[in-house]
Amino acid sequence: MFSIDDLQAAHRQVLAAFPVTPQRRWPLLEQRTGAQVWVKHENHAPTGAFKVRGGLIHLERLAREGLAPGGLISATRGNHGQSLAYAGLRFGIPVTVVVPRGNSAEKNAAMIGFGATLIEHGEDFDDARVEAARLAREQGLYYAPSFHTDLVLGVATWALELFTEAPDLDALYVPIGLGSSICGAIRVRDLLGLKTKIIGVQSAAVPTYARSLELGRPVELNSADTLADGLAVRVPDADAFAIIQAGVERVVTVDDAQIAAAIRAYWTDAHNLAEGAGASPLAALIAERDAMAGRRVGLVLSGGNIDLDLFRRWVLA
């Protein structure tokens, strides 16, 4: 997929845009989980989520190679779209994003704020993805997928930072949407020769990769009914599945109530706001508290972009 030299070069590109995000231990989280916990704060990235790293790497290459002269289009629930819009401003590439109807109002506003043109279509991410591909063909735009080697390489840089600071982690919990983040973490773990077990986390309502691993092949689900929009992917990527199948220890599923409790825990224990996908690794660790007691555990807080109304209805209910 990519070498250690590629990874280090990508990290230098990311650092040209923003500094290393913090990795911190929080005593109250450690009391809550019974483990020694390192939290990787990707909610402190410029767009509030880890995906900005992949956007920077992908769009730098597109600009350098002249591959998107008319602009690009992609589908998103928000964080991927923000990453493309942020990088599009940096490299002079117009960005259009397709979101499902009823998408996060605040994520939509953030994408528009970064300069993206926004189109609403379909009932979920996968409907939006089909429409984005159609519009790319119709309008002659570059179609930016949500899973691509450039994206995996870019987002892998958060794992490089975490493993550099805490190289002897017993386990690392990573949320799985389409799969770029966990695939990047698996690759970095292997490149560094570490023994850390990578544990995926999915919504119990949308266990796309968990189900696929059980059956030994990519399996499409019929619905994506979770409030954790970053986990609401019902169609797996075949390349991501192959990497996950080969490198993941297991996939843990957590429901919306468990995720809401983890969002509250991040707020009370670490005074950090997490969105649903961002809090899901903590939810999984809490669910596995007895098995992970006393272990050195990494959690990526992959994003903090939760709408205020959703926070009130879901987390404070």
pLDDT digits (tens, 9 = 90+) for 153-206: 999 999 999 999 998 999 999 999 999 999 999 999 999 999 999 999 999 999
Helix H, strand E, coil C: the string for the chain is: CCCHHHHHHHHHHHHCCCCCCCEECCHHHHHHHCCEEEEEEHHHCCCCECCHHHHHHHHHHHHHHCCCCCCEEEECCCHHHHHHHHHHHHHCCCEEEEECCCCCHHHHHHHHHCCCEEEECCCCHHHHHHHHHHHHHHHCCEECCCCCHHHHHHHHHHHHHHHHHCCCCCEEEEECCCCHHHHHHHHHHHHCCCCCEEEEEEECCCCHHHHHHHHCCCCCCCCCCCCCHHHCCCCCCHHHHHHHHHHCCEEEEECHHHHHHHHHHHHHHHCCCCCHHHHHHHHHHHHCHHHHCCCEEEEEECECCCCHHHHHHHHCC
Say what the pLDDT of residue 167 is: 85
Q: Which domains does the chain have, with CATH numbers?
A: 4-50+149-315 (3.40.50.1100), 52-143 (3.40.50.1100)
Q: How confident is the model at residue 120 (pLDDT cuts 50, 70, 90)?
A: very high
The identity of residue 39, as a single letter, is: V
CA 157 – CA 153 distance, rounded (Å)? 7
Q: Is 271 a residue whose pLDDT tops 90? A: yes
Give the mean model confidence (pLDDT) for residues 250-272.
98
Q: Is 129 a residue whose pLDDT tops 90? A: yes
CA 213 – CA 14 distance, rounded (Å)? 32
pTM: 0.96
CA 202 – CA 46 distance, rounded (Å)? 25
The identity of residue 264, as a single letter, is: R
Q: Is 269 a residue whose pLDDT tops 90? A: yes
238-247 and 208-215 helices, crossing angle to 10°: 70
97 close to 84: Cβ distance less than 8 angstroms:
yes
Q: Is 29 a residue whose pLDDT tops 90? A: yes
The share of the chain scoring above pLDDT 90, in percent, equals 98
Q: How confident is the model at residue 209 (pLDDT cuts 50, 70, 90)?
A: very high
pLDDT digits (tens, 9 = 90+) for 78-117: 999 999 999 999 999 999 999 999 999 999 999 999 999 9
Say what the pLDDT of residue 295 is: 98
Q: Is 1 a residue whose pLDDT tops 90? A: no
CA 164 – CA 33 distance, rounded (Å)? 23
Say what the pLDDT of residue 317 is: 79
The identity of residue 160, as a single letter, is: L
93 close to 71: Cβ distance less than 8 angstroms:
yes
